[in-house]
Amino acid sequence: MEQKKKHMLRRLTIISIPFVFVAIPSVVIIVGMLSPHATSPGSGGSAPAPPGQNHSLSMLSTMTGGQMILSCRADFSGNWEYFHYFILDPYKPRQAFFQPQVHPYIIYCKWGYMGNFLQNVVVFNSSAGYAPQCRVDNGGCRYLFQDGHMFRVTGKHDATTTVGTVAGAPSPAQAATTRQRREKTMVGDVVLRECRHVMGLFPAECWYRKHDHEYVGKIIGRWKWWFNY
């Protein structure tokens, strides 16, 4: 009888492995794709805002090692709700719209990239000085992940036309000009590990890459990334 129990336990463990590593992540991804905050995959981060949602967040990664994922929630009035699940392929921006209903309203993300994970990465805080720049009519807030750093880009390109013309074709000085009003701010660093491999396959020793700025969140493991906010 004892042997049968052990055999059954081993079988249940083997059966549960695909569920944990495939089924649950798949459900999370599908829920993120169905999020009301999401734009269509082909929007390129520049879709018009849906009615009633006048803020936007865009994410872009130029780190080419693989996909980057941010699973985000909104905290407000002592409660929280699921916000959006960003799946970032290199150089393909993704965008989500929202409308803060209360104050303060904070959006936290769990960040994952190539086996590295961070928790409590803040991408919006209605109490922060940059919050008004996240409004759609101000250009929205865009986050850039580049060379192990996280930047926040705010503002927009403003096309203005020079006043005053003369007869005939306008001179170059009188032609429409584009004035750049964007601001790029360093938020901090993301965690990256480097490993020494045996036979080019198996990691024998790993260490965190040196960084010059504070991490943008708290380092966590894979299990906590999947199962705990």
Contact 180, 157 (CB under 8 A): yes
Structure tokens that stand for 185 in this block: 């701010």
Whether 21 is in a domain gets the answer no
Alpha helices in the chain (DSSP H): 2-18, 24-33, 222-227
Whether 59 is in a domain gets the answer yes
Higher pLDDT, 174 or 81: 81
Tell me the per-residue pLDDT of 111-126, one tens digit each, with 9 for 90 and over: 999 989 999 999 999 9
* Mean pLDDT to the nearest integer, 217-223: 93
Mean pLDDT of the chain, nearest integer: 78
Whether 71 is in a domain gets the answer yes
- Lowest-confidence range among 2-11, 13-22, 47-56, 199-208? 13-22
- The CA distance from 77 to 74, in Å, is 10
Whether 7 is in a domain gets the answer no
So what's the pLDDT on residue 137? 93
List Cβ neighbours of 159 (8 Å cut-off, separation of 6 or more).
176, 177, 178, 179
Give the residue carrying structure tokens 């991408």: 123
Whether 145 is in a domain gets the answer yes
* pLDDT over 60 at 180, yes or no: no
Whether 5 is in a domain gets the answer no
Number of domains comprising the chain: 1
Tell me the per-residue pLDDT of 49-108, one tens digit each, with 9 for 90 and over: 666 689 999 999 999 989 999 999 999 988 999 999 999 999 999 999 999 989 999 999
Whether 216 is in a domain gets the answer yes
Higher pLDDT, 103 or 34: 103
So what's the pLDDT on residue 182? 82
Print the domain residue range for 135: 35-227
